[in-house]
Amino acid sequence: MFEGQIESRILKNWLKAIKAVTNEFRMEIQNENGWLITAINDAYTALVDISLGKDAFNRYEVKEDFEVALDSDLLEHIVKDARGNIELEITKEKLIANTNNTRFEIRLLSPETIRKPSVPSESDFKAKIYLYTEDLRRGLQAAERVSQWDEVVLAVKDNHFFVKSVGESEVMEMMLSSDDLIKLEGENCRSMFSLNYLMPMIKAVNTKSLKIELGTDEPVKIAWEDENMSVMYLLAPRVSGD
């Protein structure tokens, strides 16, 4: 059994990061390492690996490590209007939450019904880009307005980072030089991704900066962490014929 207390703000950020990829997930509750999740979406194109540390909680009590499975839509009912702290009690069968003088009880899913993927071995990443979250978010929002097929190209060329999308009558390209980026390492590369999957991931980032690892027609790796949790996303590319 788990018993603890956590700020609703922290739990909202954690849940938003998960829901960017999936609505059902398995979670390990560990005495030493906190809450650990590795989950994949139904299309097997996007993965999230997220850890919420013990120090994120005001109170954290676990008698022994165990695993549960949750529906993130049901969790959202708890956190949506929550303010201040949330008191939590979790067994293998149910989750009980008390917040704002309101009690919620959720029946948990069976972990065996949800696939738990392993984090893939390193892909052939050719470049690492450290950049400001707002710059990337702004570029992807512009790409959404232009893209005809909900696709965006992320690329590194000659020490510049590019975000590009193409519409029926428009082309959008954002270029960030080394002066605009925090750091850029590696060589030229280019991959195309679905905006439908990529945008929720970037919207969930709550830090000022993040790291992208990019290859040529390879998955993109997006990583960020704050004082409470660390998050890593992998998104499969759309391979074009050109």
- pLDDT tens digits along 40-58: 999 999 999 999 999 999 9
DSSP state of 109: B
Which pLDDT band, with edges at 50, 70 and 90, does 240 fall under?
low
Q: Please determine, for residue 1, whether its predicted confidence score (pLDDT) is greater than 80.
A: yes
The domain ranges of the chain are 2-113, 127-235
Please state which architecture CATH assigns to domain 127-235: Box (3.70)
C-beta of residue 234 within 8 angstroms of C-beta of residue 120: yes
For the segment 2-29, the average pLDDT, to the nearest whole number, is 97
Residue 241 has pLDDT above 70, yes or no: no
**2-113 and 127-235 share one CATH topology?**
no
- CA dist 111 → 48, 55, 66, 70, 117 (Å): 17, 26, 11, 8, 12
Predicted confidence (pLDDT) per residue in 79-107, tens digit: 999 999 999 999 999 999 999 999 999 99
pLDDT digits (tens, 9 = 90+) for 54-65: 999 999 999 999
Residue 7 binned pLDDT confidence (cut-offs 50, 70, 90): very high
- Judged against a pLDDT cut of 70, whether residue 155 lies above it is answered with yes
Superfamily assignment of 2-113 in CATH?
Answer: DNA Polymerase III, subunit A, domain 2 (3.10.150.10)
